[in-house]
Amino acid sequence: MKVFQNGQIITEVEGWDRGLQFGDGLFETIRIANAKPVALDYHGARLNAGMSRLGFRTESEAKLIIIDTLAALLGDTSEGVLKLIVTRGDSARGYRPPEQSDINVTAFFSALPSYPDEYYAAGIKIGFCQTQAAIQTQLAGLKHLNRLDCVLAASEVANKNGEWQEGLMVNDLGFVIEGTMSNVFAKIGNEWVTPKLDRSGVAGTMRQRILNNSSLDVLVRDVAKSEVANVSAMFVCNSLIGIWPVAELEGKKLAVPNEITSLINQWQSAEF
């Protein structure tokens, strides 16, 4: 594991970093293949949108932050995962953002995780977590550092001791939002849908790539938990795992239709 900050190799960050104090920051988890960031445009766009929505005072452009950090980090390593944390900078106690402060960029590089082939071929088992996805419209969609809901939900999955490979999160309004570390797509009746993320959730880059570039037609709408009875197929996705079909949802077996298999083939052949 290597930790970098603002272009320097470090092992520690300032105690006064607002990321630690308040979760006042954003992050991106980027797959690095052949020494290049995969889906750079998507990660850059989300990070830019986040810095803008949170009102960070910086002249830095997200894509350049990613490229520069990767260049400082890589050396001989050409495959792995770049985790980039961008915070509002350091400040004294108190929520109010400091008038003068540039962002802090902290970077972590680690090996690419590997998952069993069967997750992609046969699918995974999932269920509903008790932990709610937080509701906050100004933050919805951003990959910000306020992730306690995901942490608690991921603990629930861990406590299933391998019975589940992922868990679904629902918000206080009863809408299905996402997996603990993934976005979710479901076939309800004859239609593929994925949850609207205007109140809760992280708008994943793989979700957006599927919406923009895949052969699947998907309706983005609110999905009530009560609709789950009508779900005939489902998959989850993120930038590291790619796409996993869901073989079992809360004990109910789901088919893995051709649409999902084609989508996985399309993704693996790097068409999007």
Taking the least distance from each CB to a second copy, the nearer of 107 and 256 is: 107
**Least Å from the CB of residue 54 to a second copy:** 7
In the bound state with a second copy, the residue whose beta carbon lies nearer, of 145 and 231, is: 145
CB 20, min distance to a second copy, A: 4
Dist. CA 255–CA 234, nearest whole Å:
8
Structure tokens at 21: 């104090």
State the minimum distance, in angstroms, from the CB of residue 191 to a second copy. Answer: 27
The least CB distance from residue 240 to a second copy, in Å, is 9
Q: Which two tokens stand for residue 75?
A: 């050396």
| Cβ nearer to a second copy, comparing 11 with 34 | 11
Neighbouring C-beta atoms of residue 63, cutoff 10 Å: 16
Q: Contact residues for a second copy (CB under 8 A)?
A: 1, 3, 5, 10-24, 27, 29, 54-55, 81, 83, 85, 87-88, 92-97, 106, 108, 110, 130-139, 144-155, 157-158, 171-172, 180-181, 199
40-53 vs 205-213: helix axis angle to the nearest 10?
A: 120
Sign of the four-CA dihedral 36, 79, 216, 140: negative
Q: Give the residue with the Cβ less far from a second copy, 86 or 233.
A: 86
CA–CA separation, 33 vs 50, rounded Å?
Answer: 25
Beta strands in 38-94 (DSSP E): 80-87
